[in-house]
A and B are shown apart, each in its own frame.
Chain A
Amino acid sequence: MTEPYDCAQVADLLAEVATGAATGPDRDRVATHLVYCDPCSHELDELSRAADELLLTAPEHEPPAHFESTVLERIATSEGAPARRPRRGSLLLAAAAAVVVAALSSGAVWWATASERELAASYSETLDVADGRYFAAAPLIGADDSQVGHVFLYDGSPSWLFVVLDPAPGPGPYEIVVTIDGADQGAGRCVVTGTGCAAGGTVAGAIGDVDSVRLIGRDGGQMRADLDS
């Protein structure tokens, strides 16, 4: 568990979080601080906007002639891909969970956007490690019924969950609430500082008994992953 940082310590890290380059631990420290500090949260929003605008300076280049048709074809053949994924036991998402955890432990930054090819490549290794039985996963669904992330759960000692929210409906903290057999329990907080966030926590109870995982924003808005079959 990282110690909370004060404003002066966070100020030194805000720029790197804004540019998207901060390490996972640094991002966590800033996110933890921002839950309680609106001024730093505002500062990060402004710095992030400036950093994103810097990308506008990239020179334009004409792509290959077939580019547009190839993109449209890829989208057309992906029809339905953004729809809900299998609710339980998705092996690809299980692999994603392992990749997420491994990436976080090594301080990698861009785990949330790792391509599915990479996830698939990690799939067999993940099953070897976890014997293919210990993960559960479900899509996180937003208020407009679109998928806004994933929830990964591991049944072990302790059991834990990991939430990936991207894109988030807005910046700020989202409380993670797990419902097991009708009873709610907190499982941490996911704090959006850019386009999304990720957070994990332990779960008191068997993963097989989890009904749902919800992320609740400051305005009461909720996103939900249902795990009951």
Chain B
Amino acid sequence: MAVSDEALLAGVAAGDTDATAAFVRRYQRRVYGLALSVVGDPGLAEDVAQDAFVRAWRHSGSYDPRRGRASTWLLTITRNAAIDVLRMRRDLPTEPAALVDVLVARVDQADRVADRERVRAALAALPRDNAVALVLSVYFGLTAREVSDRQGIPLGTAKSRIRSGLRQLRRMLEVTND
């Protein structure tokens, strides 16, 4: 039986090198994949992914499973590390609409992970404009004003798309969680 993510993370916090290696091995594809999606450059993505694991290790003792799953906790750390890098660049390395296509694309059955499939289906069901605005905000850390400037849409429209998209996503995830 596989060790749970939370148990692995507890081992990481306790300084267990085997648990730390297992944790890195379990998540390296996801962490590197997210970093690459945000920064768009393999070399930078590797730096970001490594930095994310070191940050996670540093803060593993304070991880609280009541506040969320280990996977989303780790990916949030990764996203933050990637945005740190992204803010030094002038433009986004990835076309947001193209990224949305990648995010909602079905993957091979063998590569399917239940939690990702559930969120992928919810994102795919969002109105396209809302999905793009939401991805710009969540993946690239853009404010509504920045989304407005980038998309050439009024600020109110950008705010509305982010807000509506997130609320719709939440409702759909609530349904699939029931």
Contacts and interface: CB of A to CB of B under 8 A. Distances in A.
Interface in B118-146: 119-120, 123, 134-135, 137-139, 141-144, 146
Given A62-B29, A115-B84, A146-B62, A54 B162 contact: no
Nearest to A45: B67
B169 interface: yes
Given A50-B169, A67-B50, A57 B144 contact: no
Nearest to B115: A56
B80 A20 contact: yes
Given A21-B137, A115-B51, A169 B64 contact: yes
B92 interface: no
Given A57-B120, A74-B54, A75-B20, A63 B32 contact: yes
Contacts of B68: 49, 52
Contact of A47 (B36, B83, B139, B170): B170
Interface string B79-107: 11101100100000000000000111101
User: What secondary structure prevails in chain B residues at the interface with A?
Assistant: helix
A148 interface: yes
Contacts of A118: 84
Given A20-B80, A72-B21, A51 B138 contact: yes
A39 to B, nearest CB: 15
B28 interface: yes
A182 B13 CA distance: 35
A173 interface: no
A71 interface: yes
A15 B162 CA distance: 7
22 contacts: A18-B166, A20-B80, A20-B83, A21-B137, A21-B142, A51-B138, A53-B119, A54-B138, A59-B33, A60-B111, A61-B36, A63-B49, A68-B28, A70-B50, A72-B24, A74-B54, A118-B84, A142-B62, A146-B61, A167-B62, A168-B62, A195-B76
Query: What band does the interface of chain A fall in when counting residues whose beta carbon is under 8 Å from B?
Result: 35 or more
Interface of A: 12, 14-16, 18-23, 46-47, 49-64, 67-68, 70-72, 74-76, 78, 81-82, 108-110, 113-115, 118, 142, 144, 146, 148, 166-171, 195
Given A57-B103, A67-B50, A50 B80 contact: no
Contacts of B9: none
A50 B76 contact: no
Contacts of A144: 61-62
A169 B121 CA distance: 32
B17 A72 contact: yes
| 4 smallest beta-carbon distances between A and B, as pairs | A50-B170, A58-B34, A63-B32, A60-B29
